[in-house]
Structure 1
Amino acid sequence: MMNVRERIEEQEYQILSPFAAKSREAKRKYPMEECAFRTKFQRDRDRILHSKSFRRLKHKTQVYIVAGDHYRTRMTHSLEVSQISRTIARGLRLNEDLTEAIALGHDVGHTPFGHAGESVMDELTGHFTHNEQSLRVVEFLERGGQGLNLTYEVKDGIVNHTGKNLPQTLEGRIVRTADRIAYLCHDYDDSLRAGLLKPGDLPQEVYDKLGHDTSQMITSMVADMIVTSQDADDILQSAVIKQAMDVFREFMFTHIYHSDKLSREREQASFVLRELYHYFLENFDQLPQEFINREPCWGRQKIVTDYVAGLTDSYAVALFEEIFMPPMGRSLEKNKKGY
């Protein structure tokens, strides 16, 4: 008699597209006993969801460093990418569990202070990308250095959600585009809330092709992906919608992500991370013990990079104040076990 997991695995072959990834065929670096109730991709999703790196995303900036309660964080962004990805996967009869696991894990290696933090870490180290760091987090850093032992399909989707290489699975390719859909629409929504944009500021082509509010925009892009990719062995977009998305993205980079209006925040964030990075290189013994213990394996620079890149916005600022500012009634509890 089949257990629950085996029944789900069997149903995947009956229900899902021939192009879908099948959980029974997924492989891990280190074999482990199977769960009676969850498939490999479901277990990967749960491992990411319960990880420390995922929890830290709730205190990491999406775009606006100084923001109120209703602005996106890296965690809400990841949840939104997951929802969009699952809708597309369901429409194409692909593996929803795989898309969800990739979407939840795609940004766990992101720095504090959003892309400003990523830029300064790249400058300090000579090479740093958040997608590669996300893979490093799930592969080596989580669970006290043991990693999460995720399937190759999930790790492939995480590291290739951005960059020049495409994910090998269609589920991974869904997340790659859903990530862009989510951050364009929701960063636009946050920019309206912040007063940096007002309705009507986007190029007219974007409104004409995608709609006038974020709900319409997401629906237009999701529907286009499902219709265009039906019965195909790839994840596709129509030329009209892709062009509108490219125009949308160029506008957001020019007027928001790289705008002078946010330059002061970017400078402050960069200064904090630079100072912390140099401080811990020179005072390596001040790192939490679990990081110090990894020096023989990875070397000091890599360990300091892991630590600083993993900080939340709020903890990075508090740590900076504790190290560099005179005591004025502030206190920061020392946490030698980690963040």
Structure 2
Amino acid sequence: MEHRKLGELDVSAIGLGCMGMSQSYGPYDDEESIATIRAALDLGITLLDTSDMYGYGNGHNESLVGRAIAGRRDQAVVATKFGIKGWTGDGSFVLDSSPEYAREACEASLRRLGVDVIDLYFLHRRDREMPIEEIVGGMAELVTAGKVRYIGLSEVSTDTLLRAHATHPITALESEYSLFERYVEKDVLPACREHGIGLMAFSPLGRGFLTGTVRDMGALSQDDYRHTDPRFKGANLARNLALVDRVRSIAAELEMTPSQIALAWVLAQDEHIAPIPGTKRVTYLRENVAAAQVRLTPEQVGLLESAVPAGSVSGERYPEGIMRTVDA
């Protein structure tokens, strides 16, 4: 497995997003998930992404990751997050970015993960009522205390990112990035490049669109998050599937799966980007890992970008309530 740098942190070129092992994407099985995490370590994946709110706020996902890495801590770079305490009645998040809550949340995450230090600690969503300098100052105290090695931010604007970085070095930004979602290219990604900040790209497979397997919403379980995702609804779904078909065609010509070519495209954008596709199953994990060996030519990259031009995907990234929490 190729390795990359997020700031000063060494990670595998492809990571593993663990959220779906606890929520959002239908039924899950703890033992299968643990086997998948351990298989990821066997295959050379080091970067594991979780959060204290995955599992709908009950810490389930961190506990799951902790069980999986027990006895193998030295093989894992553990990234987790704090800042979301629950949900409001309108489907938005209850946020707390305070230094006091950061300390409380960090201690709880350390216990659930069964580790002495968190490798990369993210602010999951910024409470915009609080200056980012105060928030990052609180996170920096955790670094000084030896509880956290590096800190990151998730879903923030360029202004917030740069103000934060001026307060304490930001190792990585975690934001959505894929052929289907390229908003970071305008100014966020250039700012990361200029200041040596890595990008952890979540949903690099377009929340399943770019696997080429999601076509019938009726086939998804009723508790699957995508039933509420604007991009999977009505006319948006039809238009977006037409884009997927273009990617499937190019992948077939290159004798790859749609997932592999989509991940290879993300990897080709910058050597300091690490996509973190999520999966609960070893079969899909192996398919994703194989993408790390793909080297797209500039012509192939251009072909994909012509097939799915920036801004061509229909629908907002999230339902309205969650969109209000995105500082971008």
Using the size of structure 2 for normalisation, the TM-score is: 0.33
1 or 2 for the larger relative contact order (CA 8 Å, sep ≥6)? 2
Q: Which has the higher strand share?
A: 2
Q: Which has the higher helix share?
A: 1
Using the size of structure 1 for normalisation, the TM-score is: 0.32
